[in-house]
């Protein structure tokens, strides 16, 4: 099984939407026109990269990365990683690890001083991120906006 991590393209949109439906199964699916408009906006954002893990021609996973310029830490940016998901049929085969390695490499190439993410409150998810070199070193806070 060959895993290739690359930047997503517009042709990956249907596969991304399928992955996101696995990540958040209770979400109402986006109408295609809305998804197309959002993709256009994402593709224009400087510092934004949606990574996909391609396994033998199938999009098996994704991670949404954004490099945020920063006025602290000597001006070194911060990499935020969001919406990490690996299709159920590809889990526990190294896909997630390759995505996270690629995300960290993206941060390194942008001279980020840290990579940051929030994880679901599931022990297996925490174990996965720790195995990828992440440490739970801060308290995360969220406020959902209706």
Strand positions, DSSP E, 8-57: 48-55
Residues 85, 79, 37, 40, Cα dihedral to 10°: -120
What residues are paired with 117 via a beta bridge? 81
pLDDT reading at 10 higher than 90? yes
What is the per-residue pLDDT across 50-100, written as a single tens digit (0 to 9) for each? 999 999 999 999 999 999 999 999 999 999 999 999 999 999 999 999 999
* pTM reported for the whole predicted model: 0.94
Q: How much is the average pLDDT of 25-39? A: 96
């Amino acid at each position: 099984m060959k895993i290739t991590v690359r930047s997503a393209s517009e042709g990956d949109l249907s596969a991304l939407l399928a992955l996101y439906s696995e990540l958040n199964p209770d979400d109402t699916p986006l109408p295609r026109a809305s998804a197309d408009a959002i993709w256009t906006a994402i593709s224009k954002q400087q510092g934004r990269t949606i990574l996909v893990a391609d396994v033998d021609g199938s999009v098996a996973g994704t991670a949404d990365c954004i490099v945020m310029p920063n006025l602290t830490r000597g001006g070194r940016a911060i990499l935020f990683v969001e919406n990490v998901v690996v299709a159920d049929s590809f889990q526990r085969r190294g896909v997630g690890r390759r995505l996270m390695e690629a995300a960290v490499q993206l941060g390194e190439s942008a001279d980020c001083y840290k990579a940051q993410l929030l994880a679901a409150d599931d022990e297996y998810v925490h174990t996965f991120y720790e195995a990828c070199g992440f440490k739970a070193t801060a308290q995360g806070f969220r406020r959902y906006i209706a």
